[in-house]
Amino acid sequence: MGGSSKKQTVGYRYYLGMHLAICHGPVDAVTEIQVGDRRAWQGKRTGSGRITVNQPELFGGEKREGGVAGAIDVAFGESTQVANDYLVAKLGSPQPAYRGVLSLILRQVYMAANNPYIKPWALRIKRCFRGWYGAKAEINGGANPAHIVYECLTNSAWGMGYPTTSLDKAAFQAAADTLYDEDFGLNLLWLQQSTIEQFVQEILDHIGAVLTTSPTNGRFVLKLIRADYGIEALPVFDPDNVIALESLQRAAWGETTNELVVVYTRADTFKETSIAVQDLANIQTQGAVVSQTRRYPGITSDQLAARVAMRDLATVSTPLAKVRLQVNREGWDLQPGAVFALTWPTLGIANLVLRIVTLDSGTLTDGRIRIEAVEDVFGLPAATYTAPQPTGWVDPVPAPVAATPRRLLEAPYWDLVQAMSAAELAYVDAADGYLQTLAARPVSGAIHYTLNSKSHSSARYTSKGQGEFCPTAVLDTALLQENSSNTRYHSGLDIDLVAINSYAYIEAEVVLVTAIDTTTQSLTLTRGVMDTVPIAHPVGARIWFADGAQGIDPTEYASGETVDVRLGTTTGKGTLPLDQAPTDTLTMNQRQNRPYPPGRLRINNALYPAVVAGDLVITWAHRDRLSQTVTLIPQTSGHIGPEVGVTYTLRCYGETGRLCRTYSGLTDTQTTYTLAEDAADSGLNRPNDQLRLTLEANRSGVTSLQHHSIAFARAGYGLHYDQYYGGL
């Protein structure tokens, strides 16, 4: 408030032009851009074009690390794509068109403030291979795994480059249909850090499948490992067609696993999470938990992760039989992943269902087919066996929201004295006023708020600095009109910041906090200090512990000028945009220039009496705003001052609300309103049985901000005759 200083450089804004090559293209859509693990843009861009990022507060605004804002060209890499004009302007011609590659071109984008280091960028991209069987290519926002394998085998740019005729399309289509019905969509990224064969195997591990070649036509066959058979329809191998049963072993319980942890990817954050499932019977049998972890980064659905976890748990928790045998040429068309039934009477085995793990189909000179198989327990039913695990994690950094509750104040003379030098104070014009703001912390992660204000007639808000959140609470008991009060509170915010002998606001009254107990939530208050007087307050009135916790607008406003204010809450995720902040309004009232109301008001030497008898002797004490600048003076103190030019006005109102008598221009601190004067003024041919007195200070045409107002009953002969026997 007051004064001025030379502008100083406190930081720098950084802008950057950059070309980011993302992946092979074209893709179906770009739906999100994250910078520094925070969402900078969200939408759906399905073709080349320009998007605008407008998150200047993403990293806390200019007070912290700035944000991201500016124009970005999204180049999908279409076959018709031309050279980007920005790259041509900066790098010259000729310039490649970068066809076949998805890329971003940042056109001098605002990247940060006060931090010259680039934060990592990440994109959320949708791409499903739709060149084959497009109707089933996408599954709930993910890609059909059968389509992923199909493209890996046939893509000539980055895949294996097989002709499409080398694939058994009927088998691939059957697998695609099953995966579509199972809602088994994957969201996966291949970074070429592994071979294409390893990537295909990773897909097969996700879905529980094998990729083999058909013995009949040599084409690739995608075979899902599912309970998709009837035992009666399976080929049977027994002593008639088995050349040799080399081994049959069943695993012991100690060789099994009874807990399976599946690590997968959360769709909303790109972060890994996990789900654990257990076989309780196996745990009971082994007497301990034996755990195993499997990673399926392409799964982004909680329910799908749970189903896959149950699928794998069934495999590792059951002591399955393992068989190695040789069969004759009746098994010529078998292939890995196929299922058959084994019957072996001498071992008491009938229709043991086995699934082929490896197969050696023999040679021209040796027709034996060698098979290694395991007892089959695979299947992926549509039902969910376990509820998706909640993450249990809550983002500790909240988004900025409007501060509520809030309040605007005109600064009192006391605050100007504390904030200004004597020279600055002398410069303040009598008609000037300064704005203060009070705001409660809306969420626990809120740091502070920016104070934006403008004259009501102006069109544009201006940032006037930042404010700290104000401790506040709600009164649990009503307050009477009295000079000191003990009360309780509830719903406190930041109460631990309240200092003893600091001031607070209760509605329009300023009080001094002389004691506070945060355990019992109790307060002791000295009432009506500074330029205010004690008034009654109901239960539920809000108290603002304002001393030192105000936002301050240093602008000098004229008396009668209306000011509009918007407060922008700041959290670790930025500052609330100006257009989302609610508007509060205050009209300046020349508060700092007004004389203080008198203190120590007594009627017949009684403080706030409920009933008075006889003549009224009204007394009070002088107050002086220019002298009361060291400590806050209670109502009970004696004379201070008075300020030069101050007079007092006393008004007497009757039982009907009629103004009966006015004493103006008083310079003394006592006057008497007799019973006879009251009877003459009342218009009732008797004294008023109810009276209200008001007392205010005046100086040079301005009155005190507040005035005393005391209502009471009269007692005496003919007045409330039956209520006050024996005196008052």
Residue 338 lies inside a defined structural domain of this protein = yes
Regarding whether 152 and 92 lie in a shared domain, the answer is no
Asked if residues 469 and 439 have their Cβ atoms less than 8 Å apart, the reply is yes
Q: How confident is the model at residue 298 (pLDDT cuts 50, 70, 90)?
A: very high
Residue 176: its pLDDT value, please?
A: 96
Residue 4 in domain: no
Across the range 256-270, mean pLDDT stands at 89
Contact call for residues 258 and 317 (beta carbons, < 8 A)? yes
pLDDT, residue 389, reads 55
Domain boundary among 126, 149, 179: 126
Does one domain contain both 275 and 328? no
Q: How far apart are CA 352 and CA 374, in angstroms?
A: 10
CATH number at residue 683: 2.60.40.10
Is the CB of residue 362 less than 8 Å from the CB of residue 370?
Answer: yes
Clarify whether residues 412 and 550 are in a common domain.
yes
Range of the domain at 214: 134-224
Asked whether 537 and 478 are in contact (CB, 8 A), the reply is: yes
From 173, 205, 224, give the residue that closes a domain: 224
Which residue, 342, 361, 391, sits at the end of a domain? 391
The whole-number pLDDT of residue 388 equals 54
Tens digit of pLDDT for each residue in 305-357?
A: 999 999 899 889 988 889 999 999 988 889 898 999 999 998 888 888 899 99
Q: Is residue 157 part of a domain?
A: yes
pLDDT over 60 at 252, yes or no: yes
656-678 in b/e form (b: 16+ CB < 10 A) is eeeebeeeeebeebeeebebebb
In a domain, 7, yes or no: no
Give the CATH number for residue 332: 2.40.10
Spatial contact of 500 and 516, defined as CB atoms under 8 Å apart: yes
- Residue 277 domain-assigned (yes or no): yes
**pLDDT for residue 726 is more than 60:** no
User: Are 288 and 209 found together in one domain?
Assistant: no
d(CA 475, CA 537): 9
For residues 612 and 559, membership in a common domain is answered with no
Count: domains in the chain: 6
Q: For the chain, give the mean pLDDT.
A: 90
Length of the chain: 728
- Confidence class for position 384, pLDDT limits 50, 70, 90: very low
Cα(283)–Cα(285) distance, rounded to whole angstroms? 5
Instruction: Tell me, yes or no, whether 219 and 234 share the same domain.
Output: no
Q: Quick one: 611 and 550 in the same domain? A: no
> CB-side exposure of 55: number of CA atoms within 13 Å?
23
Sign of CA dihedral 325, 329, 330, 334: positive
Instruction: Give me the pLDDT at residue 619, please.
Output: 97
| 8 Å CB contact between 411 and 433 | yes
Residues 659 and 528 in one domain: no
pLDDT in tens, 34-92: 998 889 999 999 999 999 999 988 887 777 788 899 999 999 999 999 999 999 999 99
187 in a structural domain = yes
Q: Give per-residue pLDDT as tens, 639-656.
A: 999 999 999 999 999 999
| Average pLDDT over every residue of 589-616 | 95
For residue 5, is it within any domain? no
Residues 272-287 have pLDDT tens digits of 999 999 999 889 988 9
Q: Has residue 727 got a pLDDT over 80?
A: no
Alpha helix (H) residue ranges in 269-348: 280-286, 302-316
Per-residue pLDDT of 203-219, as tens digits, reads 999 999 999 999 888 89
DSSP letter at 589 equals: -
Average pLDDT of span 420-442: 93
**Long-range pairs, 493-497, Cβ under 8 A, ≥24:** 493/440, 493/441, 493/469, 494/440, 494/441, 494/469, 494/470, 495/471, 495/545, 497/471, 497/545, 497/549
Q: Which of 236, 159, 229 is nearest to 192 (CA)?
A: 159
- Tell me, yes or no, whether 551 and 429 share the same domain: yes
Alpha-carbon torsion (66, 67, 71, 75), positive or negative: positive
Whether residues 299 and 278 share a domain: the answer is yes
State the pTM of this model: 0.61
Structure tokens, 447: 């740091």
Lowest mean pLDDT among 189-198, 600-609, 637-646: 189-198
- Say which DSSP state 93 is in: S
Q: What residues have CB less than 8 Å from 489, skipping those under 6 apart? A: 473, 474, 475, 476, 521, 522, 523, 543
Give the whole-number percent of the chain exceeding pLDDT 90: 72
Q: Judge if 438 and 538 occupy the same domain.
A: yes
* pLDDT at residue 606 in the model: 94
End-to-end CA distance of the chain: 52
In a domain, 182, yes or no: yes
* 436 & 557 share domain: yes
